[in-house]
Amino acid sequence: MKCDICRTRPAVMFVQQVSKGSTIELHLCDVCAKERGFTQQNGHSDLSLSNLFSNILNKKDAQINTGQDVCPDCCFSFSDIKKFRKAGCSSCYSFFRTEIISLLRGEGIEISYTGPLPEKTKKVYTRHNNPNNLKKELAKAIQQEDYEMAAYFRDRLKSLGVEP
């Protein structure tokens, strides 16, 4: 695992701050830990949590002041993702979804999966893409006056090139 601060060296220390409603977790390398006041003397750690977390919060505040959107979990901005060519955390993928898709398409990478489907998924996929099943579901939705679902099934049939 890489250091959450420099993102280059391997993390050797894990720090977790728990407060009333939130938890902040950091993985640190030796260099970043020493820079932020984490020292070890006689096998005991002398921790300066205020230095460490104030630095992280200052980074977040600086990115907010520049007008860039930042991931709520790791404080990564989209410019950081482009610079490092990787996301800061799993939440970045949902937070910057449209920007990441645009970036990939700009490089000629299509995001739709074209490989084989597992057997379990094939059954569900074919059931939801079978025009006869979709027409039955459309009629059922209309009968139940569930017009949102009826519109979904109508649009799904149109996307398959079948008239409802």
Instruction: Verify that 91 and 56 share a domain, yes or no.
Output: no
Instruction: Verify that 6 and 62 share a domain, yes or no.
Output: yes
Which range marks the domain in which residue 148 is found?
Answer: 119-159
Q: Assess contact for 8 and 33: CB atoms under 8 A.
A: no
Q: Assess contact for 2 and 27: CB atoms under 8 A.
A: yes
Q: Which amino acid is at 132?
A: N
Q: The CATH number of the domain where 6 resides is what?
A: 3.30.60
For 58-110, the pLDDT digits (tens) are: 554 544 455 577 888 888 888 888 888 888 888 888 888 888 888 888 777 77
Instruction: Verify that 103 and 74 share a domain, yes or no.
Output: yes
Question: Structure pTM?
Answer: 0.35
Instruction: Verify that 27 and 15 share a domain, yes or no.
Output: yes
